[in-house]
Amino acid sequence: MSASRVNCLLVLSSSSEGVSSESFRQAYNLASSNFNIQVASPNGKNIEFIQQDDNNRRWFNEFRSKSVSTPIGLETIDPNRYSALLIPAAPGALHDLTNNEDLAVIIRHFVKEKKSICAIGLGVAALFCAKEENKQWSFEDYSLTGPSVYELAKSADFSSLPLITEDTIKDLGGKYNCSDCDAVHVIIDRHLITGQNDLSTLTAVQNLTLMCAQKHGRTYTAR
What pTM does this model have? 0.94
Alpha-carbon separation of residue 122 from 38, 45, 66, 96, 102 (angstroms): 20, 19, 26, 12, 19
- What pLDDT, in 10s, does the model give residues 206-216? 999 999 998 87
Domains in the chain, number: 1
Domain-embedded: residue 96: yes
pLDDT, tens digit (0-9, with 9 covering 90-100), for 141-174: 999 999 999 999 988 888 889 999 999 999 999 9
CATH number at residue 31: 3.40.50.880
Q: State the pLDDT at residue 221.
A: 61
Other CB atoms within 10 Å distance of the CB of residue 55 = 10
What is the span of the domain harbouring residue 201?
Answer: 6-216
Task: Give the number of C-alpha atoms closer than 13 A to the C-alpha of residue 206, restricted to the C-beta side.
Answer: 11
pLDDT along the chain (223 residues), means of 10: 78 97 97 96 96 90 94 98 98 97 98 98 98 93 95 88 95 94 93 97 98 77 57
* Residue 222, pLDDT score: 56
